[in-house]
Structure 1
Amino acid sequence: MLRAGAERGTVAAYARRDGARWVTTSWAEYASQVRVAAKGLMALGVQPGMPVCIFGTNQPEWTIFDVAAMAVGAVPAGIYPTNTTEECVYVINHSQAPAILVQNRERLGRILAKRDEMPALRHIVLMDEDRGDAPGILTWDEFLAGGREVPDASLQARLDALGPRDGATLLYTSGTTGMPKAVLLPHEALTYMAVTLIDLIPMTPADRVISYLPLSHIAEQIPTVITPAVGGHLIYYEPDIKRLAETIKDVRPTVFFAVPRVWEKFYAGAGDVVNKVTGLKRTIVGRAFAAGRQYVDAIGRGERPGGWLRLRHRLFDRLVYSNARNKMGLDKARHLFSAAAPLSPAIIDFFAGLGMQVLNIYGQSECTGLCSFNRPGRNRIGSVGPALPGVELKIAGDGEILTRGPNNLLGYMKDPAATAAALDEEGFLHTGDIGYLDDDGFLFITDRKKDIIITAGGENVTPSLIETDLKKSPLITDAVVIGDERPYLTALISLDAEAVAQLGLDAAGVRAAVAAAVEETNRGLAPVRQVKRFTILEQPLSIERGELTPTVKVKRKAVREHFAAEIDAMYE
């Protein structure tokens, strides 16, 4: 990354919002900021192997501090902005971090309120300049000023001492049960991922990427922190996910990464527009969707679409596709990816109908974010693609997906038992996911091993397949299927308030619409796998209440506990 700064010079590395405009910073300045911040950490006494923490939303300082820590041999650990104070204290104490970068006074107040409980924490750096009357806190500028006093040769000695198997970063998993485990990744895993991904999906300084998912998660670190060193793409920082739709239209990203929840929002909005079209326009849209699917399918197989299909695609691009992409702000996007959880094949198929190829990524923190993904020329809808080059995939006897490669973790910090359970003697990571490989090496995910429901009748049920199908309804934001040791399956349903408002439905209308969605899903299922009863929750599942992870995955155990009364009522 530091070499890239010298080579790219005045080329823009990142952009941040300043009122109504975006202000860019060059690669040369970015590299200089990292060098000074690295020396700032040395001035604070941070030694190789020491963890340091970062607590805040997506801003350039987050990445600068993160890369600076790696440069001096320290191990950065992000804390999710949505973490409770208890979870923050846990991460700081578990990592024994002597220093933390905190975003603003609100988050600073939470740290200071518990400072007596964190004996290892000696230094707090504040991104904001206004520290109020809090004593012993360094502003960002004061932190950098300390770094300018450290000789460049001292930093170079740290850089020269780095080894490929040294710990590079700590990822505190946003697990769906219990306190998080600390995934320790080596430098060679990050280097492998940067080089491999840019080789498969070439990116240049002309590309634009929005950084908006939590930087504590590997899914956002890959495009924002890891791959820019090789690709050089311009990062636009969006700290407020509520402004994402506006930012997409403003930035017009050329490569866009999203979690399924974001794609589901796009799908609901575009689907609503499509469903309102009538007459001749509906006929044109129908033919456009058919041509779009054929075109994307051919591209996914690595084939050149036939002349007649290319002609129809160009025509429908002018009439339909370009308008839809333009309204979403994705008209300049060359590559579209879905990560962190499976995206419904029906939704992928819908976007294919608009000539948009959304590519599924599969992986987890333990394998540096991904071990397989669909890419242009090798895409199979419903799958999560073939393995990365140099990565092995195999299926265990019980259906669990195992993976081995240079992207695997070193282990879980301070948890040898968990490490031994995750990494077997042959070096394969046991993912905890159930799936299968087809004859062409494409991986298909069916469920989490621990999430499989065994009913009172002994039937094994994969809840995620049912839940994904239910969420095809624009009304349904989340669906959680229940049925372990129960006589039949039920579901907890949370609604999309915007969709309900747009449709103008009253309570009875909403229940009827959800019932219709459940009935539609049940049509394709065997009787023992059908949802017999459902409950509509009064409010959506929440990250703040611990029902969702920061990447919007359902925490099933928490949901079952929070809604135990509602669940029991469906079995009375």
Structure 2
Amino acid sequence: MTTPNDTIPSRLFKQAERRPDAPAHHIKSGGVYRPKSYRELADEVKRLGKAMIALGQKPGFTVCILGFNRSEWVAFDVAAMAAGGAPAGIYTTCSPEEVAYIVHHAESEIVLVENASQWAKIEKMLGELPHLKQVVTMRDAPHIDHPLVVSYEAFLDKGKDVSDADFFARIAALEPQGLATLIYTSGTTGPPKGVMLSHQNLVWTSDTSQTLVGGTAQDCVLSYLPLSHIAEQIFSIHGSITMGGAVYFAENIDKVPDNLKEVQPTLFFGVPRIWEKFHAGVQGKLKEATGAKKALVEWAMDIAREATAVKMRGGQPAGALGLQYKLAQKLVFTKLKSAIGMSRARTCVCGAAPVSKEILEFFASLDIIVSEVYGQSEDTGPTTFNRTNKTKLGTVGTTLDGIEVKIAEDGEILVKGPNVFLGYYKEPQATADTLVDGWLHSGDLGQFDKDGFLSITGRKKEIIITAGGKNIAPKNIEAALKNHPPIAEAVVIGDRRKYLTALVVLDPAAAGELAGAPGADLAKLREDPAVVAAVQKAVDSVNSTLARVETVKKFHITDRPFTIENGELTPTLKLKRRVVYDRYAREIDRMYEGAQDA
């Protein structure tokens, strides 16, 4: 079935026409991954879309999806778009109140939930959801006896009296500038806003992403980061359908390391904390090497640093370096990369938050080039990208072809192009504040170097203005502190204060090693003299590189990490500064008792 308009749903049905038996999804069942073909996925999407039509959903409707990454998540998402609606994903970590806010704000009449625990969030808030008509549970969920709830199979059958012609007419009627999906921002401040993305936004970004990574139908990804986030959607939904590649769904977040080893994806996307965990795990294993094995690994890493530096400039290792590089791959990297699930990874990407240059350099020494990407939901994910053959570590790459990026007088990054969103759902003032004359005001501060590589220097709203009137971006100071063990996280404070201070979260493994007490909790480790001395040394080291007004004068070590559950991190692991400031107000105030001018 062909359609006149180029949309993600129409691309799915074209894939099903051209390559009906090719695997679209791989689902873990009975201990093994089992394929679902493009024909099967397209048929499921059609049945779901027809069910939505049968329930009276007119073009412009919305649905919500609440659950971990599953094939049903993707099918429901694409079906809603196909039927002329807009799906909105909800993070599984959201509270009942947060779930109800999004379902009510989107005015969704249909919600797909993964299981009984996610349904319980909706059930608790039913009194605040007057629009809700149907809740659908994903496959294998236990039976829920409630008049609103139906099983996935029962929902699929609801559209049996709707004709295929009526369904495909909905796809044919989709407009490029029409609303395709809602991405509810995880909200570092205030309630989430619904980012409206058009069909053109999705297809243009998918095409651009395919070009950037050289994607083909032979590529595969592991889907594990929240599908509510646009970056994961590009990888697991829109981009994969565009390429005709295959998506493997992780069993759950704890199984990701095991699933990676099974799948060995060709394309891999991770947020900084994922790469930081990889770094800690691999570094821990490398430290165990001794004697000749240690010498071999160190030699191979030195060779990889040289070789990847050549590759990042667009060349290929040749001559003696080329021979040594091949030998290092054979003796060390083939086995090492296979052990962490990266043996086939052609393109590795890091985005959604800042990552330290040292982490990227470490992976380059393992023959893994991690391409940092910069963007936001409001421009469908990417603004700039470090291409594998045009990479400068410590920057977020160069501007995507086909869009404009400029730096405003106050340093803010502005974006214009076919990836820029339609606005915020039912938020005209917020839209007017963010979209000015077609330019997306990102809220991020940045600068281009002479080669066109962009560096992020901070957030406009996170700028610290000291009591002395100095403007300071905390991000770079925090990133520098995190590069020193045993600091895992740092939050710099100082707005309207006389000097800067920091809240420091310890890395349990590094702190435990310093204290000679592996496994000890953070409340005990933060009191250990060796740990405190190491943190002080780290602060002194960072301070030595800063202007006097930027130096951290005092610090407080927390007794636990920041978490999503405690409200200090968003579901995409971004820091909620206001929550942290409020939660540690007493400790912060103590650091300023008897304060003298900086």
Q: TM-score range by the shorter chain?
A: over 0.9
2:116 to 77, 94, 105: 105
SS in structure 1 at match of 2:390: coil
Is the CA contact (8 Å cut-off) linking 2:183 and 2:230 kept in structure 1?
yes
1:57 to 54, 68, 71: 68
Alignment partners' CA distance in 2, 1:319 and 1:447: 42
Residues matched between the structures, number: 571
- Pairwise mapping of residues 326-475 of structure 1 onto structure 2 (< 5 A)? 326-425=338-437, 427-475=438-486
Alignment partners' CA distance in 1, 2:26 and 2:485: 34
Q: Tell me whether 488-497 or 72-81 shows the greater mean CA deviation.
A: 488-497
Q: Tell me whether 392-401 or 327-336 shows the greater mean CA deviation.
A: 327-336
1:564 to 562, 569, 585: 585
Q: Give the superposition deviation at 1:121.
A: 1.1
Q: Give the superposition deviation at 1:200.
A: 2.3
1:140 to 142, 146, 152: 152
1:534 to 544, 547, 555: 555
Residue 6 of structure 2 is matched in structure 1 by none
SS in structure 2 at match of 1:511: helix
TM-score by structure 1 length?
0.96
2:304 to 292, 306, 314: 292
1:202 to 214, 221, 244: 214
Is 2:514 the counterpart of 1:483?
no
Q: 1:527 to 1:287 in 2, by over 3 A?
A: farther
- Pairwise mapping of residues 114-263 of structure 1 onto structure 2 (< 5 A)? 114-127=125-138, 128-263=140-275
1:516 to 531, 537, 540: 537
Q: Give the superposition deviation at 1:280.
A: 5.2
Q: Give the superposition deviation at 1:277.
A: 4.5
Alignment partners' CA distance in 1, 2:18 and 2:488: 46
Is the CA contact (8 Å cut-off) linking 1:214 and 1:220 kept in structure 2?
yes
Alignment partners' CA distance in 2, 1:455 and 1:122: 52
Q: Give the superposition deviation at 1:398.
A: 0.5
Alignment partners' CA distance in 2, 1:234 and 1:255: 11
Alignment partners' CA distance in 2, 1:555 and 1:69: 32
Q: Give the superposition deviation at 1:272.
A: 2.9
Is the CA contact (8 Å cut-off) linking 2:114 and 2:141 kept in structure 1?
no
Residue 332 of structure 2 is matched in structure 1 by 320
Show structure 2 runs of 5+ residues with no match. Answer: 1-11, 518-524, 594-598
2:37 to 26, 29, 34: 26
Q: Give the superposition deviation at 1:502.
A: 5.9
Q: Give the superposition deviation at 1:279.
A: 5.2
Residue 10 of structure 1 is matched in structure 2 by 21
Q: Deviation per CA, 1:166-203: give whole Å up to 9, x if none.
A: 00000110121000111100000101011121122122
Q: Give the superposition deviation at 1:296.
A: 1.3
Is 2:109 the counterpart of 1:88?
no
Is the CA contact (8 Å cut-off) linking 2:304 and 2:366 kept in structure 1?
yes
Is the CA contact (8 Å cut-off) linking 2:110 and 2:134 kept in structure 1?
yes
Show structure 1 runs of 5+ residues with no match. Answer: none
Could you tell me which amino acid in structure 2 is paired with residue 52 of structure 1? V
Q: Give the superposition deviation at 1:499.
A: 4.5
Q: Give the superposition deviation at 1:133.
A: 2.3
Identity of aligned residues (%): 45
Q: Tell me whether 228-237 or 337-346 shows the greater mean CA deviation.
A: 228-237
Is the CA contact (8 Å cut-off) linking 1:483 and 1:489 kept in structure 2?
yes
Is 2:569 the counterpart of 1:551?
no
Q: Give the superposition deviation at 1:274.
A: 3.6
Q: 1:239 to 1:532 in 2, by over 3 A?
A: farther
SS in structure 2 at match of 1:432: strand
Q: Give the superposition deviation at 1:498.
A: 4.5
SS in structure 2 at match of 1:147: coil
SS in structure 1 at match of 2:334: helix
Q: Deviation per CA, 1:88-147: give whole Å up to 9, x if none.
A: 111111111111111111111221121121111111111144233222311100100112
Q: Give the superposition deviation at 1:157.
A: 1.1
Alignment partners' CA distance in 1, 2:491 and 2:204: 37
SS in structure 1 at match of 2:195: strand
Is the CA contact (8 Å cut-off) linking 1:374 and 1:385 kept in structure 2?
yes
Alignment partners' CA distance in 2, 1:13 and 1:517: 48
Alignment partners' CA distance in 1, 2:479 and 2:45: 42
Alignment partners' CA distance in 1, 2:141 and 2:317: 56
Q: Give the superposition deviation at 1:356.
A: 1.1
Alignment partners' CA distance in 1, 2:406 and 2:370: 25
